[in-house]
Structure 1
Amino acid sequence: MISREFPNDKEVVKTKLEKIKSDSQNGKNRISASILKLADKDVNKIDFLVRRANEDFRDIVSEAEYPRASSYGFGERDDDESKDDYLEDWEEYSTWKEKK
């Protein structure tokens, strides 16, 4: 994913992502993927996103994986709308992760 999103800055991005704090490698991988998506190919956003993730990783993960669903407060959408948001978000995130 790093090579795809930052082909000219792979080593710089790897170094920045090493600063992510997580209890597990799987957690670190998930947070890293979220940061790469949210950075939107802008290497200058990575440090800010890593700092935010280290404060509360859930904010970064939810923005990356469920941008529609996480933009609403509790009770703002009915169950059907929320379900649709989650499904659309997950399809979008999965497509982003799998692209070559």
Structure 2
Amino acid sequence: MSWINKIFGTKKNKEIVEQSVAKITNAELEFLINREFPKNTDLVKSKLNEIRSDSQYGKNRISAAVLKIANSDLTKIDFLITKANEDFRDIISEAEYPRVSKHGFGERNEKELKTDNLNDWTEYTDWKNKKRTHNNV
């Protein structure tokens, strides 16, 4: 058995638990910046431009993750961008998969993992789709 099958299993012996992946358009990112930092949009856009990624899709996804974790706190942006440029997976997992990322491989059974994935995705989409933050109500 390959190491991949040992970690993730095979379709024969268990159902594969999939995680949803955020897709952030340019328009959605613009909305998120304006919602999270209405008084500092130009500054935040300039800072987010420092994020390194091989694609615009990746840059948008990482930028949205930074915005979510910053929770409308401008003082957190620089640190989060630095962290994202060191290893973007840390930022993505914290923003999109907070419950799942707290546990190592094999620590959760399939039902728990499905529940965590669903709760993580619900939390992320609720954040992404809300109209206003607490700072700009």
Quick one: which of 27, 37, 40 aligns to 2:58?
Answer: 27
Identical positions, percent: 63
Per-residue deviation, 1:11 = 1.0
Aligned residues: 100
What is the aligned partner in structure 2 of residue 46 from structure 1? Answer: 77
Per-residue deviation, 1:81 = 0.4
Per-residue deviation, 1:57 = 0.5
Deviations 1:19-64 (A, max 9, x none): 0000000000000000000001100100000011101101101110
Quick one: which of 91, 94, 97 aligns to 2:122?
Answer: 91
4+ residue runs over 6 A deviation? none
Two-structure CA RMSD over aligned residues (Å): 0.7
**TM-score with structure 1 length normalisation?**
0.97
Per-residue deviation, 1:74 = 1.6
Quick one: which of 15, 31, 42 aligns to 1:11?
Answer: 42
Per-residue deviation, 1:98 = 1.0
**What secondary structure is seen at the aligned counterpart in 2 of 1:67?**
coil
Counterpart CA distance in 1 for 2:69 and 2:101 is 14
Structure with the largest fraction of helix: 1
The unaligned stretches of length 5 or more in structure 1 are none
Counterpart CA distance in 2 for 1:7 and 1:71 is 32
Whether 2:99 is the aligned partner of 1:68: answer yes
